[in-house]
């Protein structure tokens, strides 16, 4: 197998110790409220997230981080990092990005693959979000920006399906059915994120933001806020 494939699997692995499994991104509250109550509703929620939110803003912003890191464009990477931090609509989403970004920074600080220019840039960043850490991990492990985006989208989908298996009566076979059904949408989201121009970045995921804000106050929950 090509070593690059191992690096890609490493980045996409749920074993990457950054705690992504502990967040639901509002999905737990959507289940609590009955907005997502079965397999069909879950497919609709995830499809809308991919096409109307991730593909229009989150994914192209992450891809831009990866390109800037790959090209050693540190001023642009700093600008994108500030943009990512400012775009977190809720306290919960900001804390999620900050905590996962911090965990990824701790990991990279203790690995030999990150080169000195990246370390010099990374060290003084006070709030290293997940997108920044992801981009620098891709740089450290020789993963192309496009493949890094693929790993991020796949990790997002896997995490959301894991949330559903814990909060709904949704078994592993149903989760695999959803994966098969959503793969074309995942590919579409990746393609759209690659083609969209920066001046057209943006989404208005009001339902997600409201679910995330409500999740911060949810009385009984499995996932972190």
Token digits of residue 159: 């995490």
pLDDT at 127: 84
Element (H, E) at 37: none
The torsion region of residue 218 among left (phi > 0), alpha (psi -120 to 50) and beta comes to: beta
Average pLDDT over residues 93-99: 87
Confidence of residue 38 (pLDDT cuts 50, 70, 90): very high
Domain assignment present for residue 10? The answer is no
Nearest to 135 by CA among 120, 121, 125, 145: 145
pLDDT at 128: 87
pLDDT at 224: 65
Q: Give me the number of domains the chain comprises.
A: 1
- Cα separation, 29 vs 35, in Å, equals 9
Q: Are 27 and 37 within 8 A, CB to CB? A: no
Q: pLDDT exceeding 90 applies to what percent of the chain?
A: 55
Q: What is the pLDDT of residues 193-213, one digit of tens each?
A: 999 999 999 888 878 888 888
For 39, 63, 64, 70, the CA distances from 146, given in Å and listed in that order, are: 30, 7, 10, 11
Domain assignment present for residue 178? The answer is yes
Domain assignment present for residue 40? The answer is yes
Confidence of residue 217 (pLDDT cuts 50, 70, 90): confident
Q: What CATH number is given to the structural domain containing 164?
A: 1.10.4190.10
- Cα separation, 121 vs 77, in Å, equals 9
- Cα separation, 181 vs 150, in Å, equals 17
Q: Classify residue 58 by its DSSP letter.
A: I
Domain assignment present for residue 1? The answer is no
pLDDT at 181: 96
pLDDT at 5: 82
Cβ neighbors of 11 (< 8 A, separation 6 or more) are 134, 137, 138, 141, 143, 148, 151
Domain assignment present for residue 32? The answer is yes
pLDDT at 23: 73
Domain assignment present for residue 33? The answer is yes
Q: How many CB atoms lie within 10 A of CB 158?
A: 17
Q: What is the pLDDT of residues 63-83, one digit of tens each?
A: 999 999 999 999 999 999 999
Q: pLDDT exceeding 70 applies to what percent of the chain?
A: 96
CA-based diameter of the chain, in Å?
Answer: 50
Q: Containing domain of residue 207, as a range?
A: 20-216
Nearest to 81 by CA among 68, 71, 72: 68
DSSP one-letter string for 185-210: HHHHHHHHHHHS-GGG-----HHHHH
Domain assignment present for residue 5? The answer is no
Q: Classify residue 88 by its DSSP letter.
A: -
Nearest to 72 by CA among 117, 38, 16: 117
Which pTM value belongs to this model?
0.91
Domain assignment present for residue 11? The answer is no
């Amino acid at each position: 197998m090509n070593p690059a494939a191992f690096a890609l699997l490493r980045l996409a692995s749920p074993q990457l110790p950054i705690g992504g499994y502990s967040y639901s991104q509002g999905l737990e509250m959507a289940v609590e409220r009955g907005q997502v109550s079965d397999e069909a509703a879950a497919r609709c929620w995830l499809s809308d997230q991919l096409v109307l939110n991730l593909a229009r803003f989150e994914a192209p912003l992450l891809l831009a981080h990866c390109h800037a890191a790959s090209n050693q464009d540190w001023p642009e990477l700093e600008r994108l990092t500030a943009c990512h931090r400012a775009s977190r609509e809720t306290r919960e989403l900001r804390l999620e990005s900050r905590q996962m970004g911090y965990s990824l920074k701790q990991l990279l600080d203790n690995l030999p693959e990150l080169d000195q220019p990246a370390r010099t840039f990374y060290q003084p960043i006070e709030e290293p979000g997940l997108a920044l850490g992801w981009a620098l991990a891709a740089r450290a492990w020789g993963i192309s920006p496009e493949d890094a985006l693929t790993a991020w989208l796949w990790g997002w989908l896997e995490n959301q399906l894991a949330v559903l298996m814990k909060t709904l009566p949704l078994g592993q076979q149903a989760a695999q059915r959803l994966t098969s059904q959503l793969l074309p949408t995942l590919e579409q989201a990746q393609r759209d994120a690659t083609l969209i121009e920066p001046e057209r970045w943006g989404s208005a995921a009001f339902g997600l933001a409201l679910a995330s804000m409500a999740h911060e106050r949810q009385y009984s929950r499995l996932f972190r806020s």
